[in-house]
Structure 1
Amino acid sequence: MEIKTPKWIYEGFTAVQAIENVPHGLRLGLCTEETARLVREQRDPKMAEVLGDQGINFVILDGVRGLGPEIDMAEVRANVEISRALKEKGIRRVLYTQTIGQVISESFFQEIPEATNWMQRGPDGQVPTFGPKWWQYIPCLNNPDFMQYVKQMVRSVMEILDLDGIFTDLFGYFSYTCVCDHCRNRFRNYVDRKYLNPEARRARFGSLAVFDPPPFRTLGYTDYRTGIPDPYTILDPVSQEWIQFRCHRLGEVTRELNETIKTCNPEGILYVNYLFGGVPGLNNAAFHGAWPEFILPECDLFSAEVAGKPELLTNGIVKSRIVQMKVGKSFGIPVTPAVTRTDLADFKRLYLAEGMAFNTSPFDWVGQIKRDDPPSWMAKYLEFSRDNRNLLSNAETIADCTVLHSFESLSYTCEYPHQSAVLCEQSLMQENFTFNIIFDRDLNYLGKYRCLFLPNVVSMSEARAKTIAEYVKRGGCLVATEDTGVLNEFLQPWKGERYRREKSHILGELLGFEWPEEGTKFLEVDDGRVAIVGRVDRPDKAGGSISSDVQLSHSYGPEMPLYSFARELAVNHEEIVSALDYALGGERTLRIDAEGPVVGEITRNANGTFVHLLNWDEEGPIENIKVMVRMGGGERTETMELISPDLESRNETLAIDAKEGFWEFEVPQLCCYSIVMLRTQGS
């Protein structure tokens, strides 16, 4: 069955969630004396009228919480009238489900005794739980009886509520491993299919042995032979294959769920809560069995619930959800940044503006279903988003460079390459370089990218390295940092003996230059340009901090480091900037000269080219912003119009100065968000 994301998902949405639930809240100890009343109110059909008047056009109804089919389906049926009323108002409806994440063990097993066999099994026979909540068990996605139960549940709720889709929370394994018979057999079959002949199997594992799922009691170790300073390098080939197997399987499960939904409603969507949004900073492939290349092509919408809120740090660092949005854009689907625990009075304009500029289409999740009317500024922003959705949706970024997120480098390590990617991407955002995110699959189409950026991509196959080298020789631009390409796809060094390390940079050898250990190196190779940053200096070496000091954990197993954002720039931030400037020949797509924290993006669709300007400190308007935009080949701008949702701003036509391959213009004032529309001939 072909999975097609329905076109309505790109219309732009403002979503709320019905969060209150009595049975689930009671078991978790999260109810108040008012919970039952609040549940009745959030299910009142009159809410549809209120939400319509507020500009809300997408609702996550409360439903399946994993307490068992009898309890859960009673909660689902209680939503019939509100679901019908919302549909009559033209408001899209999905149902909250904890389809694969966890079950409340006591009530679930009372209703389905055999479900005790559906749960994951840890390496010592224990049942993984949802963190410290010992009563919340984690089911096994490889158990066919459990998956049959999940699909039947999806079919039932889609029919009962006539839904537009399913929102599935807690999307991932919530464990490092499972040693049940189903996982053991599936994993063995996966390895057998991948290594079909004895020679391939011996080359990978050193023997013809049959392997079970690894216990993951540790995250690996530092080995001096690799030449990379990562304390959590996963070198064991069985563990590497297990990580990849789980990611493949979660992708299959995503597809199976989406097919089930679309069998019920061809225009229905699968909406997953992909924790952390698939960005560097966390080895989510090992921790949750999740990697974007496997999940995002198979779903229609995803949430980055724990990505946090955009803000300006006191040292001028722009904290954002831009990378999550660019990951979604790589697969052509929106991400919903969730700000669910913030009162409307505390909302910032930036929360909505960020998605208008960077998301595949604007899609904001703004809290609980029962709430006050939106403030005047928010009403204006929602109106602006609706009126301009043809400008904001399905617009590609006109990118200076494309940053590679490579599976092996970010899935078999947990710290060193992750820190590099977080720091390099922060430098790009701070300096208003426009960029896209690509994945390994996209290396087959390198010719369409202006510049390839490899932030410490330590691991790559010889074939992949040759593809990149050929791209450079034919005129492509390359920026790479640190130990890019020092290991093959299995994290094995290219040269040396067991006790004699010999670091070899395969891209340097293929392109004929010596790789620097520090500083920068600029050179031309055939028709291409190459810039190497020998080292990305961590701010902690200068007494600072790269990110929050956070260690994540499951109910068992090792802690996983998390570098969710850069609290400071790399010490040699300027070297990263100069490397990209050299590769681009000094011709950035967008340059902004402003006395304040202005972040820019430039997008294009059939309706024109759009320069998005965001003031990350919306409390302090910025005046007289000078902007330069690199012209495309043969483009001629007829008009340049500035529009904004800010109540303090006015729409106006700007004067254009076209010279030396650039358009130049000045924006008189930026409060929070403005778009400059460059209308070219034929747009």
Structure 2
Amino acid sequence: MEVHLRTALCCNMNCCSIASELLTKFMVIVILITAFPSSAIASKDIPSWQPYRTTSHWILRIQPMPLLQRNAVYHALTISYPPSQKSRAGDFAAWRVSITVPRAKRYALSFWFGDTFTGSTAGYHIAQVLINDHVIWECDVAGGTNIPQRFVCELTKAISIHHGKSTSVTVTIRIMERRGVTNFPIMAYWMLMSLHADGRVIPLMRTDVAHINYEPFPVDLPLPTAGINDAWTRTATVLQPWGRTQWVAIAQHDKWVGELRDDFGFNTIIVLPPDAHNTTGRVFYDRTGKLRLTDEQFSEALTHYRRAGFHIILYSSIMHCGHAPVWMSGELVRQHPDWVQRDKDGTPRTLYGGQWLCPSTPALNFTLQYTQGIVRAYDADAVMLDNNEFFLSDARQPTCYCRHCQRRFREYIRRRFGDATRKFFGVNYDEITIPTDEGSDLFRLWIHWRNRLWAEATETFRMGLREVKRNIVLLANTQYRYPSWYLATDMQYSHEDVVLSESRRLTSWQMSAKMLLGKALAGSRPLWNYVGTFEERRERGCDYLRPPDVIATLLASTFAHHANPWIVFHGFDTYRDENAPSLAMLKRYIRWFADHAVLLGNAKPTAPIAVFFSLRSRNYTGAPLIPECVDTLLKMSAQLVGIVDESFDKEQLHGVEALVMQSMTCLSEKHAIWIAEWVRRGGILLATPDCGWRDEYGRLRPHSALMNALGITAHEERYAIGKGEVIWVSDAQNMLTALRRIRARCNWVDVTPRIAELELTCASSEVDGWQFLIHLVHHQKGATPTPLQVKVLSTLFPKRPIARIIWLSPDNDDGALLQWNASHNDTILIQTPPLHTYGVILIQLK
């Protein structure tokens, strides 16, 4: 009996039995029951499949894929579509084969199908199987599971209609675009397909277990790193003037310094040097020159801000030299065309006024010298490197293939692999070139090397700036939530003093998920969050602020994950009547954070449940960087911390009761061993069965490293291992059920009455004695403020009596003492004032 839990439509079939039911995320679950044998017959006489595609973006390969239900690897026909590429409705890629069909009374087609996408974005990529161009099965890649499923389609009617007197039919498997996409990567695959004719099984694909000749790569080369400069960064509230508003903040500094410091609580400002400001203005927004700034104006304003207690950040970059005139004019690139980021065909990346520079070229030293110069000139406390990343070329292809990258990649291979280069890649190290075949091990290693390159460049900048000013702070603006490997920012966070990203056009729940990821990436470093408080409409510019309740929830999500606010100076001086309510909300929340910045900036998040974020699985298999379970758990009011594979250390599991790993396909053997040891000590692991089948470079193993470390060989639903437990979850409904159970078992804080869209986070602090913080964020806009009773496990605290419990909130009753009493079962009950949008319960011990 075959039971298939996936959204599918078997067209023109006459199955033995078909049943359906409705489930969350799935429109229809089709259950196929068949008497045909499920085991395939091995055969060397397999027909030859031919690839077809309507555009060159599609990637078709024959490659090994794991069949998790059998704990083995088989040959699969795969169809992939890359990220950041546009498609049109009707585009498709397909594999086709013509086969001879024997005379029979009854026909069926069996196959295993899987894909890499489990999100809810439906109606775009459609998987189909066709007989003579007639669709007999189709399935939306959205929803379902990341575990391959077996399907059996009845073909008797289809064959009889299209067969006639002929003995040949054409079988096609394809991915078809129902609607065009702009950034929707996918990989789908079929394996073990067979035709059944009156009980006879005719294999159409290879049925033998694939031989995986796997050998781990040599240990990676070390990357130097300096300590963190964080004397003031944990308490920073940052203002960023930009464009016209930089002129306002500098030319009218006498008017603004006091209000920004006293009313809003800002204590840090980032500015472009005057030459860069004037040049960008001339190109983008100030053709008349009315907003030009002189060096004298700029220096005078910085002196005023510094005397008012502000720290000064200067804007710069590697990829465009901080908008310096020499880059904006094109002169630098004309003199040094080899310094530019280029794709495999030599096409550059052009944006923001010119062609982007590559950090493996002498441009790195040039931009460092430029930045050292402006630090000396203006005595900066910090430097922010904007867009510290590679990007797609103007032809929407990944970079960089410049001759400097070719040389440095070849040198990296030589130093790491030496004479073993031929064994791993089939050529000597002096023959290495950056590959274009995205399925090769060398391409996977290049993806890793690109991340190393930006990490090295960032560290070079940090050490170079410290030669000028020992205590200077370096940070970079990166899109760490980006859905693919293109940017190459994964390894640079440990080479920064602060982690920063722009968070625009997000809902408050999306903001919380991003901040959970950001805090995991930042580790012990401060996390700063550029909050998109302004509207981005082409017809209105950026001078209108978003509604007050939106600003409140975005800032609450930021504060609850212990990120410092970074606010752009849009909407402060224009449309004062329209912006007044939003500006008042912004003022209230930023001022509140500034008043409590020492407490919030030095607190350490803690939680009973950890979620694994896998940069490697996103890079090599297209798995979502923020797995769906994060949103589900946040909306269950589960208390979470994040762990990221790039910086994972086994000490991060200390105190964690449950670990959730969803689609973490890429996992190092060392990390698998650490997780297994933690499970044996009593941890609860909730994982999807695909975890650990690939190594940290996306290379397929013959078996799962995680299963090997746990000492199991099959995917039963539950395993007791040592003092701990492993729960395997293979589809969305089972995942939801399992997450609810984990939330109930691993819970430190409960709230009554239960209110919708409530997020809870926890942290501890040793500033002014040991303190425990419980953040409450009510994401529902327009809800009636409700007093709450909060139940907290007292076993979380050191064995000392509670001195006081305080309510902290930008909305109401900030600093109020709360009533509480000890309850049975090691809990305390706390009464709060009405919760509007955001509040913090601060528990202080004697």
Change (3 A) 1:491 1:87: closer
- CA–CA distance in 1 between the matches of 2:277 and 2:635? 43
Give 2:350's aligned residue: 129
SS at 1:432's partner residue? coil
- CA–CA distance in 2 between the matches of 1:44 and 1:602? 42
Deviation at 1:363, TM superposition (A): 2.6
Deviation at 1:112, TM superposition (A): 7.1
From 326, 331, 334, the equivalent of 2:519 is: 326
Q: Which of the two has higher C-alpha Rg?
A: 2
From 616, 630, 647, the equivalent of 1:425 is: 630
Question: Which structure 2 residues correspond to residues 404-415 of structure 1 after superposition, within 5 A?
Answer: 404-414=612-622
Question: Which structure 2 residues correspond to residues 73-112 of structure 1 after superposition, within 5 A?
Answer: 77=295, 79-101=298-320, 108-110=329-331
- Residue 693 of structure 2 is aligned to residue 469 of structure 1: no
Residue-by-residue CA offset, 1:308-359 (whole Å, 9 max, x unaligned): 34436xxxx9865432442355242212233253434734222322222212
Question: Which structure 2 residues correspond to residues 336-485 of structure 1 after superposition, within 5 A?
Answer: 336-339=529-532, 341-342=534-535, 343-344=544-545, 346-347=547-548, 348-360=551-563, 362-368=564-570, 371=573, 375-414=583-622, 417-418=623-624, 421-440=626-645, 441-445=647-651, 448-450=654-656, 451-485=658-692
Give 2:367's aligned residue: 150
Deviation at 1:648, TM superposition (A): 7.0
Q: What is the aligned residue count?
A: 578
Give 2:450's aligned residue: 246
SS at 1:304's partner residue? strand
1:12–1:385 Cα contact (<8 Å) kept? no
Deviation at 1:600, TM superposition (A): 0.9
- CA–CA distance in 1 between the matches of 2:364 and 2:505? 32
- CA–CA distance in 2 between the matches of 1:80 and 1:455? 52
SS at 1:126's partner residue? coil
SS at 2:830's partner residue? strand
- CA–CA distance in 2 between the matches of 1:366 and 1:638? 40
From 510, 517, 522, the equivalent of 2:718 is: 522
- CA–CA distance in 1 between the matches of 2:294 and 2:383? 12
- CA–CA distance in 2 between the matches of 1:402 and 1:174? 31
- CA–CA distance in 2 between the matches of 1:66 and 1:237? 44
SS at 2:820's partner residue? coil
- CA–CA distance in 2 between the matches of 1:378 and 1:338? 11
Deviation at 1:457, TM superposition (A): 1.1
- CA–CA distance in 2 between the matches of 1:430 and 1:515? 32
- CA–CA distance in 2 between the matches of 1:572 and 1:142? 47
- CA–CA distance in 2 between the matches of 1:387 and 1:306? 23
Change (3 A) 1:491 1:429: same
1:625–1:667 Cα contact (<8 Å) kept? yes
RMSD: 3.3
Q: Percent identity?
A: 18
- CA–CA distance in 2 between the matches of 1:491 and 1:2? 29
SS at 2:786's partner residue? strand
- CA–CA distance in 1 between the matches of 2:698 and 2:492? 24
Give 1:614's aligned residue: 777
- CA–CA distance in 2 between the matches of 1:324 and 1:168? 21
Which amino acid in 1 is paired with 2:508? E
Please give the TM-score of this superposition, normalised by the length of structure 2: 0.63
- CA–CA distance in 2 between the matches of 1:322 and 1:204? 39
Q: Compare the two structures and name the one with the higher helix fraction.
A: 1
SS at 2:677's partner residue? helix
Q: Compare the two structures and name the one with the higher strand fraction.
A: 2
Question: Which structure 2 residues correspond to residues 504-543 of structure 1 after superposition, within 5 A?
Answer: 504-513=703-712, 515-516=714-715, 521-535=717-731, 537=732
- CA–CA distance in 2 between the matches of 1:446 and 1:89? 40
- CA–CA distance in 1 between the matches of 2:384 and 2:556? 24
- CA–CA distance in 2 between the matches of 1:344 and 1:166? 27
- CA–CA distance in 2 between the matches of 1:319 and 1:442? 21
Residue-by-residue CA offset, 1:621-655 (whole Å, 9 max, x unaligned): 34242322222265343432223221477823222
- CA–CA distance in 2 between the matches of 1:142 and 1:67? 29
- CA–CA distance in 2 between the matches of 1:344 and 1:66? 23
1:340–1:367 Cα contact (<8 Å) kept? no
Change (3 A) 1:633 1:196: farther
From 735, 744, 747, the equivalent of 1:588 is: 747
Residue-by-residue CA offset, 1:493-537 (whole Å, 9 max, x unaligned): 433xxxxxxxx4443344344544xxx8233211222222123x3
Deviation at 1:671, TM superposition (A): 0.8
Question: Which structure 2 residues correspond to residues 594-609 of structure 1 after superposition, within 5 A?
Answer: 594-606=754-766, 607=769, 608-609=771-772
Give 1:17's aligned residue: 240
Deviation at 1:572, TM superposition (A): 4.7
Residue-by-residue CA offset, 1:588-646 (whole Å, 9 max, x unaligned): 12223422321111110114101111111253234242322222265343432223221
Deviation at 1:578, TM superposition (A): 3.7
Change (3 A) 1:124 1:375: closer
Change (3 A) 1:115 1:18: farther
Deviation at 1:10, TM superposition (A): 0.9
Which amino acid in 1 is paired with 2:359? L
- CA–CA distance in 1 between the matches of 2:320 and 2:375? 19
From 44, 51, 54, the equivalent of 2:263 is: 54
Give 1:266's aligned residue: 470
Which amino acid in 2 is paired with 1:462? E
Deviation at 1:96, TM superposition (A): 2.2
Give 1:27's aligned residue: none
SS at 1:151's partner residue? helix
From 773, 786, 801, the equivalent of 1:623 is: 786
Question: Which structure 2 residues correspond to residues 211-250 of structure 1 after superposition, within 5 A?
Answer: 211-215=432-436, 220=438, 235-250=439-454
Give 1:288's aligned residue: 487
Please give the TM-score of this superposition, normalised by the length of structure 1: 0.77
Q: Stretches of 4+ moved more than 6 A in 1?
A: 66-69, 102-106
2:498–2:522 Cα contact (<8 Å) kept? no
More RCO (CA 8 Å, sep 6+): 1
1:42–1:369 Cα contact (<8 Å) kept? no
Question: Which structure 2 residues correspond to residues 659-670 of structure 1 after superposition, within 5 A?
Answer: 659-670=824-835
Change (3 A) 1:533 1:112: closer
Which amino acid in 2 is paired with 1:287? Y
